[in-house]
Structure 1
Amino acid sequence: GVEEDFTILEKTGHEIETEALYKALQPFGLLDFVRSGRVAITRPK
């Protein structure tokens, strides 16, 4: 059969921290790296 090994990571934090993680993971052969902007969530009153 065909087998794939992969890991999914989620990182929250500031842009500089995310960029550092991206650079640290590059030697492992990243398949995808997605960044989102800030997310705001309102609280009910």
Structure 2
Amino acid sequence: MDGHRTMKIEGKVKDVDVLVLIDSGASHNFISPQITTALGL
């Protein structure tokens, strides 16, 4: 049985527009290199 769901949420971090993908069945997290550069991380 596969009951996980996904959501897309638009947001802002440090005045940078971001797209947040939420997957209730995911086992890992990630952030794109482009966003880390834009945020100065």
TM-score, length-scaled by structure 2:
0.27
Larger radius of gyration: 1
Q: Which has the higher strand share?
A: 2
TM-score, length-scaled by structure 1:
0.26
Higher relative contact order (CA 8 A, sep 6+): 2
Q: Which has the higher helix share?
A: 1
